């Protein structure tokens, strides 16, 4: 334990590890994210915590669409190319293999187990460094069977993004 009990407690919350892809015009990006949860049954919605300074934030702001790419634990190598931001890796989209999502036009990352196409319906800026993006799930696809227990998490790769 550290001297920061809030941080210690926040790090006890389990998080999935996803690739968020977006597009605005000819400009596309794929980034990793873990602050994602279902937020409504009807309509089906998700809430995504997205850093305001991220490259993808600007693309989502412009297009109001994104895709959540879900990976199985066995597919950890498929998500690794997207762990560095555009500032550190400006050419990261140059040789990326992906399909185009039918409803949003966003990239569907090769090697993923499933994807959710999302259309932004609300944003909540609480004054912190992240904004909460609420989006309706308007489409999906599954390429590899699995359950929640099979989904890649931060714990599986030994990372922490909390606290």
Per-residue confidence (pLDDT) for residue 92, from 0 to 100: 86
Yes or no: domain 5-150 corresponds to CATH 3.40.50.720: no
- pTM for the structure as a whole: 0.94
Per-residue confidence (pLDDT) for residue 122, from 0 to 100: 98
Domain boundaries along the sequence of the chain: 5-150
Ranges of residues in the chain whose predicted pLDDT is under 50: none
Report the alpha-carbon distance of residue 88 to residue 15 in Å, rounded: 24
Per-residue confidence (pLDDT) for residue 57, from 0 to 100: 97
Cis peptide before 97 (omega within 30 of 0): no
Per-residue confidence (pLDDT) for residue 35, from 0 to 100: 95
Report the alpha-carbon distance of residue 53 to residue 42 in Å, rounded: 31
Instruction: Report which of 121, 119, 80, 115 is spatially closest to residue 101, judged by C-alpha positions.
Output: 115
| 106-149 pLDDT, tens digit each | 999 999 999 999 999 999 999 999 999 999 999 999 999 999 99
Per-residue confidence (pLDDT) for residue 88, from 0 to 100: 85
């Amino acid at each position: 334990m550290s001297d920061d009990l809030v941080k210690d407690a926040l790090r006890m919350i389990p998080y999935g590890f996803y690739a968020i892809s977006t597009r605005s015009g000819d400009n596309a990006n794929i980034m990793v994210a873990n602050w994602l949860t279902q937020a409504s049954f009807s309509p089906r919605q998700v809430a995504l915590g997205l850093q305001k300074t991220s490259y993808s934030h600007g693309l989502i702001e412009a297009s109001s669409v994104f895709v959540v790419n879900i990976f199985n634990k066995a597919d950890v190598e498929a998500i690794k190319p997207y762990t560095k931001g555009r500032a550190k890796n400006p050419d990261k989209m140059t040789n990326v293999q992906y399909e185009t999502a039918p409803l949003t036009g966003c990239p569907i990352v090769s090697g993923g187990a499933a994807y959710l196409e999302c259309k932004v319906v609300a944003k909540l800026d609480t004054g912190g460094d992240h904004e909460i993006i609420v989006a309706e799930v308007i489409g999906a696809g599954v390429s590899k069977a699995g359950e929640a227990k099979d989904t890649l998490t931060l714990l599986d790769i030994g990372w922490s993004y909390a606290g």
